C-alpha cells in the first residue's frame, strides 16, 4: 500500500487550511467519506485560453475524470458536491458548447452521482458578451448565467431550504394583507387557504440573482496594497454561502479543490465550518491571505437590487410595439456588418410602429 505523505500547509486558520498543491494530491491524503460538502468552481472548458489554466472542450471530460473519482471517494454518503460552471461558445460560430451538460451526465452515469437539483446563477452586472455575436452582429443576447449543479451520492443528501429563505416580495406582502381566495388554477394546481398563511419568509427559487461586483472588499484592497494581481474569475461570496448554509452544519468539513482566491474558505470560516482550499497558482494564494488577515465579521449588505433586495427583470415584451423594426438577415448574421451602426436590412415601418427611442423617452417621463 502506497504511503501518503502529508503536504506542507500554505496558510492555516483556526478552522481551515490552504494548500499550494494539486488537489488530486491533497484529496489522496483525506480519508474516505470525510467531506460534507465540495463547493467549487473548476476552470471552465472555454474555447479561448485564459490565464487561469482552463482546459479545452474536447479534453475537458477526460481531464475531469480523476477529480470525479476523488470527489466520490472522499464525500460522505449524505454529503453534497456543488459545481459552478460557466458556459462556452464554439470557436468562430454563434452556437453553444455542450461540455457542462456532458460533464453532468458523465458524473451521474459513470460515477454514480445524483442530480439533486440544477441551479442557475444570474449575474445582473454581467457585461454583454460575446461582443461579436451580441454587440456587432446582433444575432444573440448576452450570456448572463452560470449553471450550478448540486450533486449527491445518495438521493437523500442532508439539506434544508429553511436555511436560505428570503423575504416576501411586495406583491406577496400585499396578497397576505388582502387575503387570497382558494381555488383550482387552470394548470391543475389546487391553491388552498394555506397559501395565504404568513410563514415569515418565502422559499427561494433555483435562480440565484447575485451580482459579481466585488470592487471594494478587503481582499481587493489587500491585493492593491501588496501589488498582487487579483484572481480574474472569482465567484461572489453569496454563492458559496448559499450552499454552505443549506447543506452543512457548523463544524462540518467543506472542501474547495479549485480554490482560487479561497473565497469558499473565507465564508466557511465565518460560518463556523472546517475547510480546506487547494490552488496551484501561488499568486492567487498570496492574495487569498488578505481574506484572513482582515476577515469580514459578517456578510456585506447588498448595495443593489432595490430597497427590498429584489432584482427586477423587465417583461420580454416591454419594448415591443407594432411591426418588427428590422428585417431578419437571411444569412443569420454570417457576414459581419461593415460598421456597427449600419445594416443592409431595410426598416419595416407601419402606422402603429413607434421607434424604441420614443418608447424610452416616454417611459422616462412616466417614472418621474
Q: Which residues are catalytic?
A: 41-42, 84
Q: Which single residue is written with the C-alpha cell 388582502?
A: 178
Long-range Cβ pairs for the range 113-116 (8 Å, 24+) = 113/68, 113/72, 113/81, 113/151, 113/152, 113/153, 114/151, 114/152, 114/153, 114/154, 114/155, 115/149, 115/150, 115/151, 116/80, 116/150, 116/151, 116/152, 116/157, 116/159
* Cα–Cα distance, 195 to 191 (Å, whole number): 7
Q: What DSSP string runs through 295-314? A: --SSPPPP-SS-TTSPPP--
* Cα–Cα distance, 338 to 333 (Å, whole number): 12
Task: Label the pairing between strands 35-40 and 75-86.
Answer: parallel
Task: Label the pairing between strands 145-152 and 75-86.
Answer: antiparallel
3-class SS of residue 82: strand
Q: What angle do CA 96, 100, 103 make, to 5 degrees?
A: 140
Q: How many helices (H) and strands (E) does the chain have?
A: 10, 11
For residue 95, what are the contacts with CB-CB under 8 A and spacing of at least 6? 89
Q: Which single residue is written with the C-alpha cell 465550518?
A: 273
Q: Which residues of 297-325 are buried (b: 16+ CB within 10 A; e: fewer)?
A: eeeeeeeeeeeeeeeeeeeeeeeeeeeeb
Amino acid at each position: 500500500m502506497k504511503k501518503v505523505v502529508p503536504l506542507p500547509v500554505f496558510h492555516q486558520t483556526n478552522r481551515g487550511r490552504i494548500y499550494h498543491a494539486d488537489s488530486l494530491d491533497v484529496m489522496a491524503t483525506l480519508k474516505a467519506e470525510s467531506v460534507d460538502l465540495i463547493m467549487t468552481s473548476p476552470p471552465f472548458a472555454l474555447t479561448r485560453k485564459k490565464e487561469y489554466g482552463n482546459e479545452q472542450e474536447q479534453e475537458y471530460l477526460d481531464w475531469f475524470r480523476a477529480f470525479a473519482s476523488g470527489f466520490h471517494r472522499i464525500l460522505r454518503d449524505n454529503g453534497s458536491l456543488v459545481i459552478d460552471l460557466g458556459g462556452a461558445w464554439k470557436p468562430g460560430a454563434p452556437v453553444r458548447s455542450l461540455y457542462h451538460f456532458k460533464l453532468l451526465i458523465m458524473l451521474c452515469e459513470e460515477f454514480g452521482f445524483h442530480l439533486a437539483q440544477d441551479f442557475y446563477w444570474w449575474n445582473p452586472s454581467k457585461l454583454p458578451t460575446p461582443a461579436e455575436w451580441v454587440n456587432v452582429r446582433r444575432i444573440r443576447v448576452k450570456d448572463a448565467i452560470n449553471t450550478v449543479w448540486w450533486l449527491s451520492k445518495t438521493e437523500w443528501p442532508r439539506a434544508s431550504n429553511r436555511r436560505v429563505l428570503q423575504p416576501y416580495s411586495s406583491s406577496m406582502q400585499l396578497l397576505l394583507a388582502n387575503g387570497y381566495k382558494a381555488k383550482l388554477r387552470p394548470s391543475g394546481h389546487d391553491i388552498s387557504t394555506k397559501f395565504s398563511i404568513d410563514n415569515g419568509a418565502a422559499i427561494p427559487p433555483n435562480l440565484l440573482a447575485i451580482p459579481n461586483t466585488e470592487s471594494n472588499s478587503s481582499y481587493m484592497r489587500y491585493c492593491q496594497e501588496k501589488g498582487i494581481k487579483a484572481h480574474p474569475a472569482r465567484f461572489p461570496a453569496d454563492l458559496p454561502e448559499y450552499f454552505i448554509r443549506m447543506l452543512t452544519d457548523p463544524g462540518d468539513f467543506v472542501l474547495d479543490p479549485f480554490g482560487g482566491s479561497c473565497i469558499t474558505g473565507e465564508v466557511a470560516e465565518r460560518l463556523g465550518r472546517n475547510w480546506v482550499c487547494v490552488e496551484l497558482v501561488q499568486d492567487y494564494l498570496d492574495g487569498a491571505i488578505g481574506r484572513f488577515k482582515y476577515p469580514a465579521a459578517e456578510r456585506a449588505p447588498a448595495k443593489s437590487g432595490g430597497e427590498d433586495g429584489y432584482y427586477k427583470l423587465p417583461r420580454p415584451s416591454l419594448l415591443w410595439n407594432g411591426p418588427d423594426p428590422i428585417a431578419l438577415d437571411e444569412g443569420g448574421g454570417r457576414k459581419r456588418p461593415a460598421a456597427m451602426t449600419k445594416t443592409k436590412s431595410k426598416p419595416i415601418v407601419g402606422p402603429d410602429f413607434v421607434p424604441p427611442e420614443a418608447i424610452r423617452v416616454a417611459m422616462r417621463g412616466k417614472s418621474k
